[in-house]
Amino acid sequence: MNNELSKYIRDIPDFPKPGIVFKDITPMLKDATAFKMAIDQMQQIMAPWRADALLGIESRGFIFGAALAYKMGLGMLAARKPGKLPYEVDKVSYDLEYGSNTLELHKDAVEKGMRVVVVDDLLATGGTAGACAKLIEKQGGLVAGHIFAVELTFLGGRERLAPAPVEALLKYDSE
Ligand code: AMP
């Protein structure tokens, strides 16, 4: 991997359950230079996408999303787990390997025609980011792109998010 940020990603085998290799991004957040580099690289990648706003996915997506929103002078929308948002919400449920998940977004988050970039720490199967795309479109917005710190390419998430642009700083083609 030629991105020097790769040394700040720590593999945790069998977390949160046996067989999963968890990609821990906290060493990258802890190192001021690495975190700044990650946000700067994300900004460069998404600059041509002409975003009007960023949508961060709870919870690690908030960390990258907020820093990127500040850097780019954009507003930040928050997709949250059920029951966390105080106002009226739209919700989308999506299947996981075992069971399902739901994400919520305040009903008035996306303006008609707004170009929104979805931000998260990691792209695996694309179910989570795909649910956010559905929420944006349900509210009349356009998905300008998806940006991640890490992509597990062998899980095919980017195909699920097509035709929106999908980019990641670090790509892993096996566990
Ligand atoms: P998915 O919906 O399958 O694309 O999963 C992406 C979401 O699950 C992101 O919010 C990630 O933070 C989390 N996630 C899934 N797999 C991993 C992994 N191997 N390491 C770290 N986070 C993961």
Q: Which pLDDT band holds residue 160 (cuts at 50, 70, 90)? A: very high
Q: How many residues does the chain have?
A: 175
Do 79 and 132 meet the contact criterion of CB atoms below 8 Å apart? yes
pLDDT tens for 122-135 read 999 999 999 999 99
Task: Identify the pLDDT of residue 14.
Answer: 96
Hey, which of 25, 128, 153 would you mutate to test ligand 1's pocket, going by the most ligand atoms within 8 Å of its Cβ?
128
Residue 36 CA, ligand 1 centroid: distance in Å:
22
Cut 0.85: pTM above it: yes
Write out the H or E segment, with its range, that includes residue 159: helix 157-161
Residue 24 CA, ligand 1 centroid: distance in Å:
10
Pocket of ligand 1 (CB under 6 A): 20-23, 57, 60, 120-128, 157
Domains defined for the chain, CATH in brackets: 3-172 (3.40.50.2020)
Do 109 and 137 meet the contact criterion of CB atoms below 8 Å apart? no
pLDDT tens for 43-85 read 999 999 999 999 999 999 999 999 999 999 999 999 999 999 9
Residue 57 CA, ligand 1 centroid: distance in Å:
11
Residues assigned a catalytic role: 60, 97
Task: Identify the pLDDT of residue 99.
Answer: 83
Q: Is the pLDDT of residue 1 over 70?
A: no
Range scoring the smallest mean pLDDT among 4-8, 97-101, 153-157: 97-101
For residue 56, give the nearest of 14, 105, 8, 126 by alpha carbon: 105
Do 170 and 1 meet the contact criterion of CB atoms below 8 Å apart? yes
Q: Which pLDDT band holds residue 174 (cuts at 50, 70, 90)? A: confident
